[in-house]
């Protein structure tokens, strides 16, 4: 029963989000310019997509609400993402936003240190090992791609 | 055809290409063997390696990754009861019970040999089907391409998992994501909201890397870390572990499963994740002793492994002849070819015949490499299963960033992997399947471009889309496919309702 209830809650939330999003993109399509004489311009397909999303979002929402009414009240456990996911997301966000400013080597090393610290169980964490592996791995990847494969990677502060 | 093959083999039988094939196969098997890492991820991560290479060298590494990645899944399926990739789900059913009985060596031997043989059946089918199909496809115009794209989009249902509606939503989200940036034909900006970086739109490769690699990392960050403490069954392997009598007893099962795998591969949207289960079910249902399936008989491994590798050849048929990828790995390969300025489709056969036949030859060489490397390197691959994920995953993300940045040297592509990674993670949390997003992302623009091109051609009339026999045929197929899915969905819902009462 718990799983079923969770599913319905998911359907209500996701259905609502899709409906709102579809309305947003439908109105956004009116901002797309129309240059050709044909009635099928650049806004045609996005508008169809918006209508399609509105319909499927609505169906998901209705299914969620309808099934909810069929069920008795029961305690439920929301499917909370664990802290590791959120901190992983934040460290990737940091990495992505700092790569141009700090350069690949520095931001990748910092990211790896953060990510290792998040994922490695506390009892197995050894800070010197984590830092060494992060520096070694970043240098190795940089060396292979920049010198071995002539790929350009942002140099940032070290440039 | 024979002459083309001779030329192709002379092109690829160089030390450099053979080395690339070996590297690709080894990395592919590793990615296939480690649960959570997939062939799609392997191809995504190694794409930046190919930027500086020629198309043949690039394809050598990417195709070997594909073949190794699909086959490698059998190692963990047999030894730890966790399929390395969805392609080997059915291998666990009989592989692990065999390993539990102390016959892991036999199970691995059967898996490796039939992966190789199944792959060969798929490739031979590809060699015979693709060239004539490409010749037919040369006559296709915008009407036909539009209808094929619509037909392929209706196959989203097969990738939709439990909910067709959610699959459709995923597909439409994919079409929307592809519509950000310049519109086809007139290049007018859409959904850019004054953000300069959005004017170029989202690139396919960072989108794929985000959806299938970053979201996977987020998922694994959430999962139980005890997965690193896996119990691996010990094994001894002598010869291939099975007798000639056992080999001879599997002919029908092997041919049937390989053909199922190839057929499923040809249909756009369905890949080896489905074919191994279908082939296993068919083998079980047509067996005289279906009750023995699941207890540790080689028939189950033969069905699963020959079908999943045969799917590779099948999936390359629509990619090479029509430019429509059959699954997520072929979507990556499409991106890989485009990086080298090569557009898959019927013209590829006409203008780049040597490359096409080099691809064919590479498939054979990579398949042989897979057989040798997987057999002789099995002990090493098993050892790699013990590498802690907490070291592996961050390193993979670093490679993802290199791969995304390398596409165009723009930071926006790195941002794209985070956007799509988060999107993929959130959608999966709400039970939306991810593969339809990619199908929508690729097929949406194909359908739109050809619709608008066709309408310009016909001066605004929709009639030619219905009067062209091929176009009309595909539209009818699309309609039938949609109706049959809706019917199946209704039957399933009714069954579920009755079951829950």
Which pLDDT belongs to residue B292?
Answer: 87
Closest chain B C-alpha to A8 CA, distance in angstroms: 10
Residue with the two structure tokens 């069905």: B303
* Residue closest to B373 by CA, chosen among B64, B36, B41, B98: B64
pLDDT band at A36 (very low <50, low <70, confident <90, very high): low
A92 vs B48, B397, B460: nearest CB: B397
- Between chains, do A92 and B421 touch, taking CB under 8 Å as contact? yes
Joined tokens for residue B12: 């690829």
Give the residue from B149, B172, B173, B456 with the most A CB atoms within 10 Å of its CB, the best one to mutate: B172
Statement: residue A73 has pLDDT above 50: no
Which pLDDT belongs to residue B177?
Answer: 94
Specify the range with the lowest mean pLDDT, choosing from A25-29, B80-84, B202-206. Answer: B80-84
Give yes or no for A121 touching B (CB within 8 A).
yes
pLDDT band at B226 (very low <50, low <70, confident <90, very high): very low
Q: Give the orientation angle of helix B104-137 with respect to helix B353-376, to 10 degrees.
A: 180
- Between chains, do B190 and A93 touch, taking CB under 8 Å as contact? no
Which pLDDT belongs to residue A2?
Answer: 55
pLDDT band at B370 (very low <50, low <70, confident <90, very high): very high
pLDDT band at B372 (very low <50, low <70, confident <90, very high): very high
Question: Quick one: average pLDDT of B97-112?
Answer: 88
pLDDT band at A78 (very low <50, low <70, confident <90, very high): very low
Neighbours of B175 (CB within 10 A): 26
Please tell me which residue of chain A has the smallest CA distance to B493: A63
Cα dihedral B383/B389/B390/B391 (nearest 10): 50
Residue with the two structure tokens 């289960």: B277
- B403 and B44 Cβ atoms separated by less than 8 Å: yes
- A133 and B391 Cβ atoms separated by less than 8 Å: yes
Which pLDDT belongs to residue A50?
Answer: 95
Statement: residue B227 has pLDDT above 70: no
Statement: residue B224 has pLDDT above 60: no
Residue with the two structure tokens 């519509």: B179
Give the residue from B45, B161, B167, B169 with the most A CB atoms within 10 Å of its CB, the best one to mutate: B169
Query: In which element (H, E) is residue B209 found?
Result: helix B204-209
- B332 and B40 Cβ atoms separated by less than 8 Å: yes
How many whole angstroms separate alpha carbon B169 and alpha carbon A55?
9
Instruction: Tell which wins on pLDDT, B326 or B321.
Output: B321
> Which positions in chain B touch A52 (Cβ < 8 Å)?
168, 172
Specify the range with the lowest mean pLDDT, choosing from A73-87, A139-153, B300-314, B341-355. Answer: A73-87
Angle at B456 between CA B454 and CA B460, to 5 degrees: 90
β-sheet bridge partners, residue B182: B189
Closest chain B C-alpha to A74 CA, distance in angstroms: 17
Please tell me which residue of chain B has the smallest CA distance to A18: B169
Give yes or no for A30 touching B (CB within 8 A).
no
Phi, psi of B348 (to 5 degrees): -60, -40
| Residue numbers of A between 58 and 77 with CB closer than 8 Å to B | 59-60, 63
- Between chains, do B398 and A59 touch, taking CB under 8 Å as contact? no
How many whole angstroms separate alpha carbon B217 and alpha carbon B222?
9
Specify the range with the lowest mean pLDDT, choosing from A57-66, B11-20, B403-412. Answer: B403-412
Which pLDDT belongs to residue B228?
Answer: 55
How many whole angstroms separate alpha carbon B68 and alpha carbon B75?
11
- Between chains, do B401 and A57 touch, taking CB under 8 Å as contact? no
A88 vs B52, B176, B217: nearest CB: B217
Statement: residue B469 has pLDDT above 50: yes
Statement: residue A53 has pLDDT above 90: yes
- Between chains, do B415 and A96 touch, taking CB under 8 Å as contact? yes
Which pLDDT belongs to residue A6?
Answer: 63
Instruction: Tell which wins on pLDDT, A106 or A78.
Output: A106
Residue with the two structure tokens 């996005």: A46
Joined tokens for residue B441: 């992302």
Joined tokens for residue A104: 């690949």
Statement: residue B265 has pLDDT above 80: yes
Closest chain A C-alpha to B460 CA, distance in angstroms: 6
pLDDT band at B225 (very low <50, low <70, confident <90, very high): low
Statement: residue A47 has pLDDT above 50: yes
What are the angstrom distances between the C-alpha of B392 and each of B31, B84, B387, B388, B427? 11, 15, 7, 7, 24
Burial of A124: CB neighbours in 10 Å, binned 0-12, 13-18, 19+: exposed
Which pLDDT belongs to residue A104?
Answer: 92
Which pLDDT belongs to residue B380?
Answer: 81
What are the angstrom distances between the C-alpha of B141 and each of B137, B151, B443? 9, 16, 16
pLDDT band at B65 (very low <50, low <70, confident <90, very high): very high
DSSP conformational letter for B233: P
Residues B180-198: pLDDT tens digits?
A: 999 888 888 899 888 888 8
Instruction: Tell which wins on pLDDT, B483 or B156.
Output: B483
Count A/B contacts: CB-CB distance under 8 Å: 162
* Residue closest to B46 by CA, chosen among B32, B27, B33: B27
- Between chains, do B391 and A35 touch, taking CB under 8 Å as contact? no
Statement: residue A159 has pLDDT above 70: no
> Which positions in chain B touch A7 (Cβ < 8 Å)?
431
How many whole angstroms separate alpha carbon B150 and alpha carbon B148?
5
Instruction: Tell which wins on pLDDT, A80 or B59.
Output: B59
Statement: residue B151 has pLDDT above 80: yes
Statement: residue B105 has pLDDT above 50: yes
What are the angstrom distances between the C-alpha of B61 and each of A103, B50, B123, B397? 28, 8, 17, 20
Question: Quick one: average pLDDT of B90-119?
Answer: 89
DSSP conformational letter for A81: P
Which pLDDT belongs to residue B45?
Answer: 78
- B146 and B471 Cβ atoms separated by less than 8 Å: yes
Burial of B285: CB neighbours in 10 Å, binned 0-12, 13-18, 19+: exposed
A38 vs B179, B188, B455: nearest CB: B455
Closest chain B C-alpha to A150 CA, distance in angstroms: 7
pLDDT band at B231 (very low <50, low <70, confident <90, very high): low
Which pLDDT belongs to residue A102?
Answer: 92
* Residue closest to B201 by CA, chosen among B221, B223, B182: B182
Give yes or no for A141 touching B (CB within 8 A).
yes
> Which positions in chain B touch A4 (Cβ < 8 Å)?
500
Which pLDDT belongs to residue B169?
Answer: 92
């Amino acid at each position: 029963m718990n799983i079923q209830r969770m599913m319905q809650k998911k359907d209500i939330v996701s259905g609502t989000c899709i409906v709102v999003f579809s309305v947003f993109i439908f109105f956004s399509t009116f901002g797309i310019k129309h240059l050709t004489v044909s009635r099928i311009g650049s806004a045609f397909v996005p508008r169809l997509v918006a209508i399609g999303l509105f319909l499927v979002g609505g169906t998901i929402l209705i299914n969620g609400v309808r099934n909810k009414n069929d069920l008795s009240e029961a305690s439920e456990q929301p499917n909370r993402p664990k802290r590791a996911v959120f901190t992983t997301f934040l460290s990737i966000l940091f990495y992505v936003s700092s790569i141009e400013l700090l350069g690949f080597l520095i931001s990748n090393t910092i990211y790896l240190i953060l990510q290792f610290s998040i994922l490695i169980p506390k009892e197995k964490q050894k800070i010197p090992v984590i830092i060494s592996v992060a520096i070694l791995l970043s240098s190795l990847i940089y060396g292979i791609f920049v010198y071995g494969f002539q790929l350009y990677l942002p140099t940032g502060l070290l440039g | 055809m024979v002459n083309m093959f001779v030329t192709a083999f002379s092109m690829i039988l160089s030390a450099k290409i053979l080395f690339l094939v070996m590297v690709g196969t080894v990395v592919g098997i590793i990615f296939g063997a480690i649960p959570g890492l997939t062939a799609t991820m392997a191809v995504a991560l190694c794409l930046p390696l190919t930027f500086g290479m020629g198309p043949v060298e690039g394809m050598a590494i990417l195709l070997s990754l594909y073949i190794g990645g699909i086959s490698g899944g059998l190692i963990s399926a047999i030894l730890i009861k966790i399929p390395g990739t969805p392609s080997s789900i059915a291998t666990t059913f009989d592989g692990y019970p065999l390993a539990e009985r102390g016959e892991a060596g036999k199970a691995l031997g059967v898996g490796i040999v039939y992966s190789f043989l199944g792959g060969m059946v798929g490739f031979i089918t590809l060699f015979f089907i693709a060239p004539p199909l490409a010749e037919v496809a040369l006559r296709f115009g915008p009407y036909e391409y539009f209808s094929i794209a619509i037909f392929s989009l209706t196959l989203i249902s097969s990738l939709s998992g439990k909910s067709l509606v959610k699959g459709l939503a995923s597909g439409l989200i994919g079409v929307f994501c592809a519509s950000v940036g310049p519109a086809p034909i007139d290049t007018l900006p859409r959904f850019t909201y004054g953000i300069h970086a959005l004017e170029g739109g989202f690139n396919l490769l960072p989108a794929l890397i985000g959806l299938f690699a970053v979201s996977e990392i987020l998922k694994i960050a959430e999962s139980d870390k005890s997965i690193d403490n896996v119990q691996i069954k010990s094994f001894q392997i002598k010869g291939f572990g099975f007798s000639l009598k056992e080999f001879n007893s599997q002919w029908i099962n092997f041919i049937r499963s390989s053909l199922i795998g190839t057929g499923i591969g040809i249909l756009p949207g369905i890949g080896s994740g489905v074919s191994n289960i279908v082939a296993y079910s068919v083998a079980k249902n047509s067996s005289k002793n279906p009750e023995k399936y699941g207890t540790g008989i080689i028939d189950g491994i033969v069905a699963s492994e020959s079908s999943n590798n045969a799917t590779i050849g099948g999936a390359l048929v629509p990619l090479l002849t029509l430019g429509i990828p059959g699954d997520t790995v072929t979507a990556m390969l499409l991106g890989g070819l485009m990086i080298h300025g090569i557009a898959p489709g019927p013209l590829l056969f006409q203008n780049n015949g040597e490359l096409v036949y080099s691809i064919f030859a590479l498939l054979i060489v990579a398949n042989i490499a897979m057989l040798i490397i997987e057999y002789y390197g099995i002990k090493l691959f098993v050892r790699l299963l013990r590498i802690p994920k907490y070291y592996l995953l961050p390193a993979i993300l670093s490679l993802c960033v290199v791969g995304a940045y390398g596409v165009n040297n723009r930071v926006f592509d790195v941002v794209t992997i985070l956007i799509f990674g988060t999107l993929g993670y959130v959608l999966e949390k709400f039970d939306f399947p991810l593969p339809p997003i990619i199908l929508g992302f690729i097929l949406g623009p194909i359908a739109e471009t050809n619709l608008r091109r066709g309408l310009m051609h016909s001066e605004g009339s929709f009639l030619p889309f219905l009067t062209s026999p091929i176009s009309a045929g595909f539209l009818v197929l699309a309609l039938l496919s949609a109706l049959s899915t809706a019917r199946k969905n209704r039957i399933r819902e009714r069954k579920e309702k009755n079951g829950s009462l």
